[in-house]
Structure 1
Amino acid sequence: MKFFVKFIDRYAPYILLAVLAVTVCMVPGIKRITIARGFDNDSLPAFNELVKSVKEVRKTFAANMRQVIIAVEAQPGYKVTDGHSLELIQKLTNTLKGIKVVKRDSLMSLSTVKSVQSSPDGISSEKLLAKLPSGSIEEAEFENRLAHDPFYYGRLISKDFRSSLILATAYDSADLAEIHNAIASAIEPLRASVPGVTITLVGDPEINYQLNASIEKDIIVFVLLAVGLILLSFLGIFRSWNGVILPLAGILVGIIWTMGLMGYYGEPILIISATLPVVLVVIGSEYGIHVYHVLSEETAHHQTFRQALTRAVSTVFSPLAMATMATFTGGMSLITFKIRPIQHFGIFMGIGTLILMFIAIVVIPALFKVLHKPAEKLQKSVVGGIMHATHLAENVLNHVP
C-alpha cells in the first residue's frame, strides 16, 4: 500500500505520459475494426447440422450471395414500358458494364435478355427489346409480348408494368463499400433523367453495406449520447471541471484501450458488440465517481496528497475490487455460449472492466495529483499577490500627506 501510494505521488507525470503513449498506440487498433452484418458461418458451431448445410449452400451458390439489384420504379400514372423508361434501363445496363466491380456477363435486364419463341419450324430466340417503342401502339405491343413471356413477366418486370429489375453479380474480391461507391456514383447522374421514374439500389451487398453503415453511426451516436449525459451528471454532482475531466478522461481511455485491443485481435463489430462502448461508459463512470469523490473528500481533510491518497485507497480499493471481479466474472461467463461473437463480447467486456479498474486506481489519482498541484500554486500566488498589494497600498497611504 505504501509503495503504491508513494509511486503515484512521485511519478504521477510519468504515469500519465505512459498512459498517453499506450493510448496513442491503441488508436490504430480501433481503425482496424470492421463491421459485420450478422453471425457468419465461422461464428457458429461447426458441428451443428444446419450450419453445415448453410456452408455447403454458400459454397455451391456463392455468386448468388453477391447479386446487385437496381430497381427501376414508375410512380402512379407512369409505366416503365414507355420509350423513355426503357431507354433509361438501357443506359443503366450499359453503365454497369463499365464498372470493374461487376461481372459483365452476369448483367440481366430488359435490354439484354432474349425472348424464346416456338413455331412450326422449331424454336427461335431474338432480343426482347430489339428497338425502343416510339408510341402507344408499340408500347402496347411490347407489353403484350412481356405478358406472354413466363420467363420475365412477374420476374424481371412487374405484372402492372410499373417496375423492372436490373440484375448483376459483383466480384468476390470487391468489398461492400467499393461495390456501393462504384455503382451509386455511376447511376447518380441518371436518377432524375426521366420524370416519374425512381432508381433504387438494393441487393445483398447493398443491404449489408447499409446495415454496416447504420451500426457505425449508431455506435457513434450512442457513445456521444452516453458521454454527454455522463458529463452533465458529473458537472451536476461535483460542480467543478476537475470532477468532469478526471472521470471522463478515465472512461475515454478505457474505451480506446479496449476497442484498440479488439481491433488488433481482429474481432469485427456486430450488433451485440456495438453496445460494448456504452457498457464501458456505464462501468467507468461508476468507478470514476467513487475514486474522485473519495479523493476530493480526503484532500479536504489532509495536508498532503500522499496522506489523502493513502486514505482514499484504503477506503475505496476493496469495494472497487469486488465490484470489478463480479463484473469480470459475469462477462467471462459468456464464454459458455457456443456462438463466437457472444464469447468475444464477454471476453472484451471482462478485459475492459479490468482496464477501467486500473485507470480508476492508478490513472485518475495521478491525474488528480497533476491537476491539483497547479491549483495549490495558484492559490498561494493569489494570496501572495493580495498581501503584496496590501503592503503597497499601506506604503502609498503612509506617504500621502
Structure 2
Amino acid sequence: MTIPFNKPFLSGNELDYIRDAIQRGKISGNGHYTQKCQAFFEQRYGFQKCLLTSSCTDALEMAAILLDIQPGDEVILPSFTFVSTANAFVLRGAKIVFVDSKAEHPNLDESLLEELITDKTRAIVVVHYGGIACEMDSIMALAAKHHLVVIEDAAQAIDQDYRGKPLGSIGHLGAFSFHETKNIQCGEGGMLAINDPGLIHRAEIIWEKGTDRAAFFRGEVDKYSWVDIGSSFLPSELNAAYLWAQLENLGRIQARRKAIWLDYYTYFSSGEQKPSLLNSRYLGYFAEAKQGLERAAFSFSQASDLGNAHLFYLLFADHSRRTDFAARLKQSGILAVFHYQSLHRSAMAKKYFPEQYLRNLPHADRFSDCLLRLPMFYELPDITATLG
C-alpha cells in the first residue's frame, strides 16, 4: 500500500453542516457558519476581529490592500516561504527584500532585519514555519522603533502561542490557512485576523468588495454602496460549514497530531521502535532507507519544535542524500516531500528583483535543498496499522 504525505481529516459532521447551510437558504458567504467560525477565533484566541477568506493567499492580499502598500514600498519577508507571502505585496507594486533563515530553524533570523530596513520599508512579514513561533518580542520592538507594520503569516500556526500569546494575535495583522494540508481545513480557506482596532472598519469594507454591505446587514446604514477598493474575499457558507465541523474537533485533532509527532521524535532520537501509535514496521522503513545510504546522517525536528504538530521534518547533509532517502521511502510506499524553494533564487526574483537574486542567503538555500517532510495526518496510525 502507499502511505500519502497528507490525508484530509473528516470529523463526521461536515456533510450535516453543509446540508444545514443549504437549508438555511444563504450559501454565498457571511452567513450563520461564517459568523460562528469568526466568533470562535475571536473568543478563543482574543483576536480583535476575524474575517474568513477563500484562502490564506486572499488574507495576505487583503492585508496588502488594507495597509495601502504602494509601488516602491519595501516589504521584508523570509526567502524560505510559500510564494503567496511575497505575491500579495508584489501585486501592490512593492519591492520584496528577502531575509535569511536561522541556521538551526527555517524561521527568519530576526538579528538580520534591522540592516535591511530603509526609509522605504513599510512592513515586515514573519512566517511561523511548522507552527514554531518567530521571536516576536524583538521583531515587534524593532517594528515600533522604525514605525513599521508586522504581518504574521500564521498559515501553519493555528492553536499555537508565543510566551502565552496566540500566534496571529501579536502583529498588527495575522493570516491563517485552512488548506487541506493544514491541521484544521476546509479544502481551501483562510482567515485574516485584525489586531489593530484602527484597521477593523476598512478591513470589513475591503472584505465586502469595497462596499459597506456588512454594515447594511447589521442595520447601521440604510443602503450599501461602493466606498473603497476591495475584492471578493468571502468564502462560501459551504466552506464555512465544513470548517465549523473541524473547529468543533480542534482539541481532538491537535492531541492526535502531537502524539504522532512525539512518536516520530522518540523514534529518531532513540533509534528504537518503542510502543507507539505508529506501526513498528512503518518506522522500520526509515531505518532501512538510512542504512541504504553512505554516510546518510541527518538531523531532525527537536523536542522544542513540537509547536502545534503541523509537520515533522528531517534535515540532510546535502541535496543528493535527501533525494536518495526520499526515493528509498517511495519504494517502500511512503511519500515524503521537500518544501519551499528559496524565493530569492526564483525566476521571478531574477526578473523583477535581480539584486535580491544575487544575495547570499545560505540557510534558506540549505532548507530548500536538504529538508524532507514526513507523512503527518490524523489517520496515519490507522493506515500504518494495516502494514501488519
Which band: TM-score by shorter chain?
A: under 0.3
Structure with the larger strand share: 2
Q: TM-score, normalised by structure 2?
A: 0.21
From the two aligned structures, give the one with the greater helix fraction: 1
Q: In terms of Rg, which structure is larger?
A: 1
